[in-house]
Amino acid sequence: MNNGFIKLETENKIATLTFYHPKSNSFPSSLLKDLTKKINKLSDDNDVNVILLKSEGEKTFCAGASFDELIEVDNFKDGKEFFLGFAKLILAMKNCKKIIVGRIQGKAVGGGVGIVAATDYSMASNNASLRLSELALGLGPFVVGPPIERKIGEEAFSNMSLDCEWRSAEWGKQHGFYTEIYETIDELDEHINKFVQTLSKRSPEALSKLKKIFWEGTEHWDTLLEERAENSGKLVLSDYTKNFITNFKSNS
């Protein structure tokens, strides 16, 4: 439990992937690899028609990259490899033959925003605010940028990247992150469960072809996201970033 987990449950053609980490559902590289591996495997699972992606708890959907792991990075190779973990997850989500539905019950920060953007359809609670905080760390939303820009457009992505401010769930709905938002998590679960049950009964062939159409124009992302991971892998070694993370951890 202290290291977090990825849980997979499959029932009635619905695969539910749940992730958890005690530090606000942040992602160390081990969890990124596990989630990526499971999504890749589900892509070819004939017993699955739709994937529901969710996290434990109520306050935070995903806090992004693990600060505990980032502070330990001391060379470019390891830095690039860590951010490639997010790149490979995004690629797995976009290349997956199954529709991925996101249940966003709480805040999403940094890499968490990228995961929201990489879902094919997301519903959220009123508490599901969003923030790209990377620039404040001396980094930038490089790896998660392409799916976010694809989802909300260049201008909104630029604004999020530069001001590092929180955006409300209502803003997220208006800009395409969420299709619907609900007052409570119970309401969210009621509606999202009905939706995935309905989707699970649709033609798997039609869903797969539709998914491919959704992501047309992203065929070059393998190269693009690796280049973006290199940017982050270099910057995470800077004194600015190391000092920011150290100060943040000591005050939290």
pLDDT in tens, 100-122: 999 999 999 999 999 999 999 99
Mean predicted lDDT score pLDDT of the chain: 96
pLDDT for 3: 86
Q: In whole angstroms, give the CA distance from residue 94 to residue 149.
A: 14
* Longest pairwise C-alpha distance within the chain: 53
The predicted model scores a pTM of 0.96
CATH 2.120.10.80 matches 5-185: no
Q: In whole angstroms, give the CA distance from residue 248 to residue 225.
A: 27
pLDDT tier at 245 (50, 70, 90 boundaries)?
Answer: confident
Dump pLDDT digits (tens) for 165-218: 999 999 999 999 999 999 999 999 999 999 999 999 999 999 999 999 999 999
